[in-house]
């Protein structure tokens, strides 16, 4: 009895980890497994193994159009929000100006506002200006909430940057522009890259705000939502799993490169 | 030296330099000429304005008032990258994303020099680290980073090299070694070095000329020997080494000497070593200049009688005594352990004597404790 309890004590952390990861990964595993389901109509019951869904991920009607839209929106939202957010982060992190603390506070607002409120009010704003919901309003909406996350991420990186490095560059005959290009930007770049990845994933899986502002245009989350009523096709599982493994690959490569850089 | 001659030679001339932050004045009306080719130290405690002065010379701070000139060129308001001045930063500030080679080549490349290999390798050889060219800064030890920071600055052959507490982050042994090395490198390259430090020993080891700074102003400037042997203020007397300052009054003259009355006992002081403005004076004597003797022993020079040994510390090369004088002041006496005299013991009655020419005189209205409260090893990061 005592032996058992001691074993338990010693392995508590491991047991906890296994339980936690099982909890986290069951849905992913389920999604992945059912991407191989030979499903025909409904993908709720296992009906046999097939590779057909993976060979033809666009098999379900509209699914690849929706995916294409999501990727396009995600790319544009990432581009704009990263540029804009990085500039705001530099302004707040580096300069003292009137309204700095107010800006700092306002940046957090989109993060704190419920998405349903943000989505609805954006829609009414677009309608006031007689802009019909669709692709560009969705991009604008996504830039809006991505920017906050970009600012927060990049600002943290800037704060950890030793100002003496820039002073040293200036001391070594680099003017303001060269200092930024040769020292500041390369050192802040990992933060900007992290912010861009975050922005893309936020944009890609956003449903609520998109649903308000996209009109008849379908995005991937919208596609999944609407098809839930009549049964989500297995191709959605394929795309979901593929996205998961892509993200995983990026993380692993990132870790690998980071470690290699430290060792060499 | 005349200003015209200084300008022609390419000296660094600071003229009435002031830097204020709101109500706080970090540097107060400072004027200074640093001769070309010298190893100059700005020495002072934390917050004395030495780093601010350095940063104004580098162009990283703009003076509130005053001018900075390098030779005939005024550079007060030029950008750091427009000045032929390079800095070795405290904690080195090496670019972490660049290799050691690219760190050193940085300044050369920014000035549009294409072929940097030879100059960079020469600089790496000068600091004896040619094998580290392809490493990143984080893979180097503190001492190595320090040398690379030096190489990165020297490779540009600046008119002036600024060193901001460059050895502060190194351990004692390495610091000693680097002090000697820095001095050697300065001789080798012939560039003017301006070295900011709070460590008086470091300043005295390396510099030809030291300016002691206190509260935004220069207290005294001179060679290490000048400052040590003939300090002009209580701050300098206490900040550079230790001093015994005894309150007294000037009671008369004797040729080139002044006669000073110290609590009823008369001593003499060379007139050119007295910085007192009136009859109120502090007589200053360094502890190692004192000779301690038993009452029956004949002594010459200046003598103070009636001392009593309060404390004895044997520290190898010397023995340090605390001697209580009749007027209630404890004097420090450092005796070399080389004269075969049996050590004195606590409670013994003794006389204290010294060569009159070692005495220095300070203004009697000074604070005798000035400069003693500062612990030079604390609070290294003065910003």
Please give, one letter per residue, the 3-state secondary structure of B97-156: CCCHHHHHHHHHHHCCCCCCHHHHHHHHHHCCCHHHCCCCHHHCCHHHHHHHHHHHHHCC
Closest CB from B80, B94, B111 relative to A171: B80
Q: What tokens does A196 get?
A: 């861009």
Q: Which residues of A touch B (CB under 8 A)?
A: 162, 164-165, 167-175, 178, 182-183, 186-187
Contact A80, A143 (CB under 8 A): yes
Closest CB from B89, B97, B107 relative to A173: B107
What does the pLDDT read at residue B97? 93
Contact A174 B79 (CB under 8 A): no
Domain ranges of chain A: 2-54, 61-232
pLDDT in tens, B336-371: 887 666 788 899 999 999 999 999 999 988 888 888
List, by residue range, all CATH 3.40.50.300 domains of chain B.
Answer: 3-229
User: What is the Cα gyration radius of chain A?
Assistant: 23
Per CATH, the number for B242-363 is 2.40.50.140
Contact B110 A186 (CB under 8 A): no
**Pairs of residues, one from chain A and one from chain B, whose beta carbons lie less than 8 Å apart:** 58
For residue B217, give how far its alpha carbon lies from the nearest alpha carbon of chain A (Å): 25
- Find tokens 């996205």 and name the residue: A243
- Our CA dihedral for A59, A60, A65, A66, rounded to 10 degrees, sits at -140
Contact B298, B361 (CB under 8 A): no
- The tally of CA atoms less than 13 A away on the side-chain side of residue A117 is 6
Closest CB from B80, B91, B96 relative to A170: B80
Q: Is the pLDDT reported for residue A144 higher than 90?
A: yes
Average pLDDT over residues B149-158: 92
Residues of B in contact with A172 (CB under 8 A): 81, 86, 106-107, 110, 152-153, 156
Contact A171 B86 (CB under 8 A): yes
pLDDT in tens, B128-148: 899 999 999 999 998 899 999
CATH superfamily placement of domain A61-232: MetI-like (1.10.3720.10)
Closest CB from B87, B90, B94 relative to A171: B87
Contact B2, B10 (CB under 8 A): no
Average pLDDT over residues B255-277: 91
What does the pLDDT read at residue B301? 86
**How confident is residue B378, by pLDDT bands cut at 50, 70 and 90?**
very low
For residue B157, give how far its alpha carbon lies from the nearest alpha carbon of chain A (Å): 11
Residues of A in contact with B137 (CB under 8 A): none
Contact B85 A174 (CB under 8 A): no
Contact B337, B308 (CB under 8 A): no
For residue A92, give how far its alpha carbon lies from the nearest alpha carbon of chain B (Å): 21
**How confident is residue B10, by pLDDT bands cut at 50, 70 and 90?**
confident
**How confident is residue A57, by pLDDT bands cut at 50, 70 and 90?**
confident
Phi, psi for residue B352 in degrees, rounded to 5: -120, 135
- Where do the DSSP E strands lie in chain B? 12-21, 24-34, 39-43, 65-70, 73-74, 85-88, 160-164, 192-197, 209-214, 217-222, 244-254, 257-262, 265-270, 280-285, 291-294, 302-314, 318-324, 330-336, 349-354, 360-363
For residue B380, give how far its alpha carbon lies from the nearest alpha carbon of chain A (Å): 16
Average pLDDT over residues B242-268: 91
Q: Is the pLDDT reported for residue A221 higher than 50?
A: yes
pLDDT in tens, B176-212: 888 888 898 898 888 999 999 999 889 999 999 999 9
Average pLDDT over residues B261-287: 91
What does the pLDDT read at residue B174? 83
What phi-psi label fits residue A186: left (phi over 0), alpha (psi between -120 and 50 degrees) or beta?
Answer: alpha
Residues of A in contact with B153 (CB under 8 A): 172
Q: Which residues contact A124 (CB under 8 A, 6 or more apart)?
A: none
What does the pLDDT read at residue A41? 67
Contact B237, B243 (CB under 8 A): yes
What does the pLDDT read at residue A146? 95
Say if strands B349-354 and B257-262 run parallel, antiparallel, or are unpaired.
Answer: unpaired
What does the pLDDT read at residue B297? 77
- Find tokens 């900007």 and name the residue: A192
What does the pLDDT read at residue B8? 65
List, by residue range, all CATH 2.40.50.140 domains of chain B.
Answer: 242-363
Contact A172 B85 (CB under 8 A): no
pLDDT in tens, A83-119: 999 999 999 988 888 988 898 889 988 888 999 999 9
Contact A165 B87 (CB under 8 A): no
Residues of A in contact with B86 (CB under 8 A): 171-172
Task: Say which CATH class B3-229 falls into.
Answer: alpha beta
Q: What is the secondary structure of A123-173 as a DSSP string? A: HHHHHHTTPPSSHHHHHHHHHHHHHHHHHHHHHHHHHTS-HHHHHHHHHTT
């Amino acid at each position: 009895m005592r032996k058992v309890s001691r074993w338990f004590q010693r392995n508590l952390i491991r047991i906890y980890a296994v339980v936690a990861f099982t909890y986290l990964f069951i849905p992913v595993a389920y999604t992945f497994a059912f991407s191989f389901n030979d499903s025909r109509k409904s993908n709720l019951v296992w009906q046999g193994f097939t590779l057909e869904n993976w060979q033809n991920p666009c098999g379900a009607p509209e699914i690849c159009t929706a995916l294409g839209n999501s990727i396009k929106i995600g790319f544009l939202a990432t581009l704009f929000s990263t540029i804009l957010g990085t500039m705001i982060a530099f302004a707040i992190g580096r300069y003292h100006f009137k309204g700095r603390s107010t800006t700092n506070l306002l940046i957090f607002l989109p993060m704190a506002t419920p998405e349903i409120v943000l989505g609805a009010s954006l829609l009414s704003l677009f309608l006031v200006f007689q802009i019909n919901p669709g692709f560009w309003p969705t991009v604008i909406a996504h830039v809006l909430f991505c920017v906050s996350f970009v600012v927060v991420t990049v600002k943290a990186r800037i704060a950890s940057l030793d100002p003496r490095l820039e002073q040293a560059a200036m001391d070594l005959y680099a003017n303001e522009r060269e200092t930024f290009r040769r020292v500041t930007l390369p050192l802040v770049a990992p933060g900007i890259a992290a912010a861009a990845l975050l922005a893309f994933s936020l944009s890609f899986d956003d449903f609520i705000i998109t649903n308000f502002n996209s009109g008849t245009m379908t995005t991937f989350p919208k596609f999944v939502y609407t098809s839930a009523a009549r049964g989500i096709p297995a191709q959605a599982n394929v795309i979901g799993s593929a996205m998961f493994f892509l993200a995983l690959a990026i993380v692993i490569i990132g870790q690998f490169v980071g470690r290699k850089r430290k060792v060499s | 030296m005349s200003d015209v001659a200084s300008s022609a030679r390419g000296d660094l001339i600071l003229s009435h330099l002031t830097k204020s932050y709101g109500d706080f004045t970090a540097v107060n009306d400072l004027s200074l000429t640093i001769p070309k080719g010298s190893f100059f130290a700005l020495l002072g405690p934390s917050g004395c304005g030495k780093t601010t002065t350095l940063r104004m010379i580098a162009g990283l701070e703009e003076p509130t008032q005053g001018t900075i000139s390098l030779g005939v060129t005024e550079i007060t308001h030029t950008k750091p990258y427009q000045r032929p001045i390079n800095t070795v930063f405290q904690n080195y500030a090496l670019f972490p994303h660049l290799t050691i080679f690219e760190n050193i080549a940085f300044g050369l490349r920014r000035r549009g020099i294409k072929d940097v290999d030879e100059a960079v390798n020469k600089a790496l050889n000068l600091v004896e680290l040619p094998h580290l060219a392809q490493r990143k800064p984080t893979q180097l030890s503190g001492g190595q980073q320090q040398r690379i920071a030096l190489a990165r600055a020297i490779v540009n052959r600046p008119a002036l090299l600024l060193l901001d507490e460059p050895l502060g982050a190194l351990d004692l042994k390495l610091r000693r070694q680097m002090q000697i090395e820095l001095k050697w490198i300065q001789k080798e390259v012939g560039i003017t070095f301006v070295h900011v430090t709070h460590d008086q020993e470091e300043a005295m080891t390396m510099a030809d000329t030291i300016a002691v700074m206190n509260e935004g102003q220069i207290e005294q400037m001179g060679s290490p020997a000048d400052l040590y042997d003939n300090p002009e203020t209580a701050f300098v007397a206490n900040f550079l080494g230790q001093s015994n300052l005894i309150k007294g009054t000037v009671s008369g003259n004797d040729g080139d000497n002044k006669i000073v009355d110290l609590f009823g006992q008369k001593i003499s002081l060379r007139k050119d070593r007295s910085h007192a403005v009136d009859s109120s004076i502090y007589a200053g004597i360094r502890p190692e200049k004192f000779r301690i003797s038993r009452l029956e022993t004949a002594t010459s020079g200046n003598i103070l009688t009636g001392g009593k040994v309060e404390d004895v510390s044997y520290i190898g090369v010397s023995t340090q005594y605390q001697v209580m004088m009749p007027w209630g002041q404890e004097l420090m006496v450092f005796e070399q352990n080389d004269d075969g005299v049996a050590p004195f013991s606590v409670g013994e009655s003794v006389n204290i004597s010294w060569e009159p020419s070692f005495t220095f005189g300070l203004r009697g209205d000074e604070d005798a404790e000035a400069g003693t409260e500062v612990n030079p090893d604390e609070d290294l990061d003065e910003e």
